[in-house]
Homo-oligomer: A and B are copies of this chain.
């Protein structure tokens, strides 16, 4: 059996970035913290913390911290008298556009402290495969080994631009030449939505020039400000579309991205209330 008291010390160090801060949070001396970790490292025969500063978990150290969080979360499903006091930490990967639109209210379904990790919709599940999160919202339909994937519905994206930008950069409509020249707004290096839409519109893979703005609302506002065109979730764009501050580049050419809720099977019972809340809200907010 692992030494869970020592794992709790390890988790504090990794969360707070220093032995001193962990000692203060736990109400013990820094040397007690240091001895505890040394003992754990010797027993496991592996370094668990890069000493820093800042102190950072090694791959094994991070894996053990995540394991501890999962054990704590499972403890919350015990009968009341057996349950330790205080909330468990639940680490989830959520794509930025879900967080910006429909996800937040479901968090109230579980009395946990949430540690959200952001990733774009094509890669969030990598965290799950690496054992860094207990569950993830991802566009990948294939479950990771040891996980189940539930379909949630599709998030609809529209290719939008400010009216002035559209008139200036697409005077003859959406053509290969105009897409090669007009700056796009791109979330980050992993964001392929703009390229996918351009391929759908022209039948060709194009090299799109673009700004990178890795935050959902600033992304949408950059499009409104005329800095570029970009793919914005329909729900987020609705007010600006209604008021004419945003226009579609092409009518009737949305891009639907299906989303899935991936859950580690061992965590599924503890996460059941959250899973139910997510399914209900997704059914209302996403497209079937």
**Interface contact A115-B212, CB-CB below 8 Å:** yes
Query: Which of A41-49, A75-83, A219-227, A253-261 touches B?
Result: A219-227
Select one of B100, B105, B190, B214 contacting A217, CB under 8 A. B100
Q: 1/0 contact trace for A204-225 toward B, CB 8 Å?
A: 0101011111111110011001
Query: Given A17-B189, A104-B227, are A115 and B217 neighbors across the interface (CB < 8 Å)?
Result: no
Contact partner of A209 (CB less than 8 A), chosen from B87, B210, B216, B227, is: B87
Neighbour of A108 across the interface among B16, B116, B227, CB < 8 A: B227
Closest to A15 in B: B189
Q: Would you give the shortest CB distance from A48 to chain B, in whole angstroms? A: 17
- The answer on a CB contact under 8 Å between B212 and A215 is no
Residue of B nearest to A112 (CB): B211
- How many copies of this chain? 2
Tell me the nearest residue of chain B to A209, going by C-beta.
B113
What band does the interface of chain A fall in when counting residues whose beta carbon is under 8 Å from B? 35 or more
Taking the closest CB of chain B, its distance from the CB of A50, in whole angstroms, is 14
**Those of A109-155 within 8 Å (CB) of chain B:** 113-118
Query: In the assembled complex, which residues on chain B have CB atoms less than 8 Å from the CB atom of A205?
Result: 24
Query: Quick check: B116 and A211 within 8 Å, CB to CB?
Result: yes
From B24, B86, B103, B215, give the contact of A216 (CB < 8 A). B215
Q: For the complex, what is the distance from the CA of A211 to the CA of B118, rounded to whole Å?
A: 14
Across-interface contacts of A107 in B (CB, < 8 A): 211, 222, 225, 227
Residues of A at under 8 Å CB distance from B?
15-17, 24-25, 86-87, 96, 99-100, 103-105, 107-108, 113-118, 183, 189-190, 205, 207, 209-218, 221-222, 225-227
